[in-house]
């Protein structure tokens, strides 16, 4: 069935104009975006197929090459879809910051860098390395009793985190790791492997600099 054979009330553009975007199904919104179908599939049928593909791969992970594998879906329409998904991500008001480097951690710890007490914080991340939540695990001189894997990974399980990044400040400004820092990091990394929630990095924060365990090859 061609799109023009549908009753006007069922055509995505007309429905959008009359009822607003909230009344349209996801595939109908995609149909408005694409504008036209391909040989053998009208725009609504094509859109349903695309929505199923995106749901299967995950909107955060869908790539141009995934779409180009679909028979009849050319580069132009595939690029439209990728651009629309990225636009939606960028415009989300509740979009969490992505933590992709120790610089990102340093920037998000301005409150800790100036503190005169050591704070041990953990960033809980989703599968796309976006921040779910930051929690302060301990305050005071770090040792194994204050930073126990249980205290670190219990929130990770509750938040369904895919990974974590640890961070703590050195009030002295010297970012070289102590023996306790090394021991705690090793313990957390081992616990993370067992639980399937990896310790991505441990960042020591100074007032004007930082040290990444990952970049130093210490994880």
Confidence band of 3 (pLDDT split at 50, 70, 90):
very low
HEC letters along 160-209: CCCEEEEEEECCCCCCCCCHHHHHHHHHHHHHHHHHCCEEEEEEEECCCC
- Rounded to whole angstroms, the Cα distance separating 55 from 216 reads 38
Residues 55 and 106 occupy one common structural domain: no
Query: Is the same domain home to 199 and 123?
Result: yes
Same domain, 85 and 141: no
Q: Is 12 domain-assigned?
A: yes
Among candidate residues 48, 66, 91, the one where a domain is terminated: 91
Judged against a pLDDT cut of 80, whether residue 93 lies above it is answered with no
Q: What pLDDT is stored for residue 85 in this prediction? A: 85
Q: What pTM, to 2 d.p., does this model score?
A: 0.58
Domain match, 206 and 106 both: yes
Task: Say yes or no to pLDDT of 9 above 50.
Answer: no
Indicate the residue among 54, 72, 91 that finishes a domain: 91
**Residue 179 is part of a domain; what is its CATH number?**
3.40.140.10
Q: What percent of the chain has pLDDT over 70?
A: 91
Helices (H) and strands (E) in the chain, counts: 9, 5
- Domain interval for residue 18: 3-91
pLDDT value at residue 146: 66
Residue 218 lies in a domain: no
Label residues 6-37 b or e (16+ Cβ within 10 Å = b). Answer: eeeeebbeebbeeeeeeebeebbbbbbbbeeb
> Rounded mean pLDDT of 57-65?
82
Q: Are residues 201 and 142 in the same domain?
A: yes
Q: Does 217 map to a domain?
A: no
Q: What is the mean pLDDT of residues 169-195?
A: 93
Residue 80 has pLDDT above 90, yes or no: no
Q: How confident is the model at residue 121 (pLDDT cuts 50, 70, 90)?
A: very high
Residues 28 and 79 grouped into a single domain:
yes
Averaged over 31-56, what is the pLDDT?
82
Same domain, 44 and 74: yes
Do 70 and 138 have their domain in common?
no
As a whole number of angstroms, the distance between CA 160 and CA 155 comes to: 8
Given this model, what pLDDT does residue 217 score? Answer: 93
Please check whether residue 149 lies inside any domain of the structure: yes
Q: Are residues 106 and 58 in the same domain?
A: no
Domain-embedded: residue 219: no
Residue 127 pLDDT exceeds 80: yes
Query: Looking at residue 39, what is its pLDDT?
Result: 76
Same domain as 80, residue 107: no
- Within-domain flag for 96: no
124 shares its domain with 196: yes
Same domain, 87 and 108: no
Residue 30 is assigned to a structural domain of this protein: yes
Residue 43 lies in a domain: yes
pLDDT of residue 14: 85
Taking residues 74-80, what's their average pLDDT?
Answer: 87
Write down the pLDDT at residue 56.
Answer: 81
In the predicted model, what is the mean pLDDT of the chain? 85
Task: Kindly report, residue by residue over 140-179, the tens digit of the pLDDT.
Answer: 776 555 688 998 999 999 999 999 999 999 998 899 999 9
- Confidence (pLDDT) at 92: 66
Last residue of one domain, picked from the residues 91, 117, 147: 91
Number of domains in the chain: 2
User: Averaged over 87-116, what is the pLDDT?
Assistant: 83
When pLDDT is cut at 50, 70 and 90, the band that residue 11 belongs to is confident
């Amino acid at each position: 069935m061609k799109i023009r054979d549908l009753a006007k009330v069922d055509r995505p553009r007309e429905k959008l104009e009359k009822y607003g975007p909230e009344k349209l199904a996801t595939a109908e919104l995609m149909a408005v975006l694409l504008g036209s179908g391909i040989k053998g599939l009208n725009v609504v049928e094509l859109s349903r197929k695309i929505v199923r593909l995106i749901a299967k791969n995950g909107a955060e992970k869908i790539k141009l090459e995934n779409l180009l594998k679909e028979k009849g879906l050319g580069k132009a329409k595939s690029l439209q879809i990728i651009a629309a998904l990225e636009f939606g991500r960028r415009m989300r008001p509740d979009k969490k910051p992505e933590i992709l480097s120790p610089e990102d951690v340093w920037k998000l710890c301005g409150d800790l860098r100036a503190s005169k007490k050591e704070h041990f914080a953990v960033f809980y991340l989703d599968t796309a390395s976006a921040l779910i939540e930051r929690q302060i695990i301990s305050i005071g001189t770090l040792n194994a009793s204050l930073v126990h894997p249980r205290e670190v990974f219990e929130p990770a399980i509750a938040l369904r985190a895919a990974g974590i990044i640890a961070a703590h400040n050195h009030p002295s400004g010297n970012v070289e790791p102590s023996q306790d820092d090394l021991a705690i990091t090793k313990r957390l990394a081992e616990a993370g492997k067992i639980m399937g929630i990896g310790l991505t990095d441990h960042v020591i924060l100074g007032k004007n600099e930082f040290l990444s365990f990952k970049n130093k090859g210490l994880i």
